[in-house]
Amino acid sequence: MIDEITINTFLDKRRMKRDNTYPIKLTIYFDGHKKRYSTGISVTEIQWEKLNSKVSKEKSVKEIKDNLEAIIGKAKTIIKNDIPEFSFEAFERLYKSRKSDLNNVFISHSNYIDRLKEENRLGSAFSFKSSLYSLKEFVNKEELRFDEITVDFLRKYEKYMLAKGKSLTTVGVYLRNLRTLFNQAISNNIAKESKYPFGKTKYQIPSGVNVKKALEKNDIIKIFKYEAEDMSYEALAKDIWIFSYLCSGINICDILRLKDENLVETRIIFIRKKTSGSSRRNHLKPVLVRRNPAINAIIKKWRTLPSNSGPHIFPILNGVEDQEKEYLIIKQFTKLVNKHMNKIAKEVGIDKKVTTYTARHSFATILKRAGAPIEYISESLGHSNLKVTENYLDSFDDDTIDKYSKELTNFL
């Protein structure tokens, strides 16, 4: 039956709203007749043109398009599964009852998770999945509307999470996720801007305590000199940590994705996974790392293992093709590295938590204390969102790279 029905969207320009937008209507054609239904979404003429353009869309327009596709999907589901024999009256009754789903924070949350997975932003998807579970547990009901999220609601939710043992950092992450959804709902005319509960004069999302993560030189020396059992998980964790420290603070996910093709002459060249999905990916700069004997020794040790017949330098992701499975393996491996690095730290007398992030922070701190320009450090870390990096120099010459690379090991 759905093949006999046409569904599309229409910009109703008969009356402009106060914010210079027009409502988008859902149009149903059946048996020579048509009827239009409200979607609850309004856009400007420019936004409407962008929605129907084939070129890459900006984030706000993509969010509108995603919501429109969700509405069309609901309409198709109603027609295909819920109406034995189509009639406009039966469709309208079911459509109006389900259109309120857009104002349901839980459904909005789930839709956004699906979108993140489609874009292969699995870290963000798992973050939103955790915040959705937390929010559902807090309200303990089937539906939460955007207009129920008030300053008082947010304060109670923060207090609830802290009482459950969540850190301020986690509280901040969950509430920023909720703020993202609220902003999206406002841009799609689902929530009212006048009801926005976040801001300096309203509710302010707490920030986690910025604990110093970098190690001093004498502690880094202890890690380098620690003798781990050959080819053990402890040895792998130590090598991964040192590799990250020496290679511009490269993240674990980027280390495990390195292949032979990333080894170019005397360098390692790669694009950070964190920025590879950016809308500005055509303008991303690769991270360049000058290899030294210590880096080469680690690469040779793990690349030439008889069991490492796959394409990766480190044999953790070989044979893994599913993106979600890959993400979970990297997450689990990171925990393994952190577990062994903290054991090593305890063994050598380092009175500080040592994690993969510690390697990245230590790299940046050692270079900063050596007098390296902040622009060089930013470029080395692969920070694509810092204008100061993009405007300073296109890249640093080999002499500069060599000079500051030596600072990472000259105290050993």
3-state secondary structure 248-292: CCCCHHHHHHCEHHHEECCEEEECCHHHHCCCCHHHCCCEEEECC
The string of DSSP letters for 113-124 reads: HHHHHHTT-HHH
Give the domain-ending residue among 195, 229, 262.
Answer: 195
What pLDDT, on a 0 to 100 scale, did the predictor assign at position 227? Answer: 93
With bands split at pLDDT 50, 70 and 90, how would you rate the model's confidence at 412? low
pLDDT band at 392 (very low <50, low <70, confident <90, very high): very low
Residue 147: give the domain boundaries. 120-195
Do 224 and 179 share a structural domain?
no
**Are 310 and 239 found together in one domain?**
yes
Residues 233-274: pLDDT tens digits? 999 999 999 999 998 888 899 999 999 999 998 999 888 776
Q: What is the overall mean pLDDT for the chain?
A: 84
* Domain annotation covers residue 253: yes
Residue 296 lies in a domain: yes
**Residue 279: pLDDT above 60?**
no
* 379 in the same domain as 298: yes
Structural domain count, the chain: 3
Counting residues of the chain whose pLDDT is more than 70, the rounded percentage is: 86
In this structure, the answer to whether residues 140 and 284 fall within a common structural domain is no
Domain-embedded: residue 340 = yes
CATH of the domain at 274: 1.10.443.10
109 lies in some domain: no
* 108-124 residue pLDDT tens: 898 888 878 877 888 89
Co-location of 40 and 73 in the same domain: yes
Task: Look at residue 397 and tell me whether its pLDDT is greater than 70.
Answer: no
Instruction: Tell me the pTM.
Output: 0.65
pLDDT score at 114: 81
| Cβ–Cβ < 8 Å for 298, 243 | yes
* 89, 296 Cβ separation under 8 angstroms: no
Do residues 180 and 298 both lie within one domain?
Answer: no
**Do residues 65 and 133 both lie within one domain?**
no
264 and 365 together in one domain? yes
What is the pLDDT, as a whole number, of residue 276? 57
230 and 332 within one domain: yes
Q: Are residues 286 and 397 in the same domain?
A: yes
